[in-house]
Amino acid sequence: MNRVHRDELAVNTARMFAQLFQEYRRAAPAVREVVEQMSETADAAPDRDDREMALATLADALGLLGPDRSADDAYADLGSARHGADGPPRQDES
């Protein structure tokens, strides 16, 4: 890859980061929490499927995959990622 292409890639990456960062800053606190947790998972998970699921949830939480969704939807995705298809245990369950 030559220098011009590297420079273009760097500028495009910075532009994308700036746009995503603004989406993050505008998001509700609950959505920001999902973004933070999924960013860590996407970066550190040893399993490829876990990383891909985290990235999909991250994109969804930032509104990159279709219409905006509520924080409850983002938490449902997070629960599924952490606890399987049934999501996290309900508080009324012992």
Scan for tokens 């700036």, then name that residue: 18
At residue 85, does pLDDT exceed 50? Answer: no
At residue 67, does pLDDT exceed 80? Answer: no
Per-residue exposure over 1-23, b if at least 16 CB sit within 10 Å of its own CB, e if not: eeeeeeeeeeeeeeeeeeeeeee
Residue 38's nearest CA partner among 16, 60, 55 is: 55
Residue 34's nearest CA partner among 76, 83, 88, 91 is: 76
By percentage, how much of the chain surpasses pLDDT 70?
68
Residue positions counted in the chain: 94
Contact 39, 61 (CB under 8 A): no
pLDDT tens, position by position, 26-51: 888 998 999 999 999 998 988 999 99
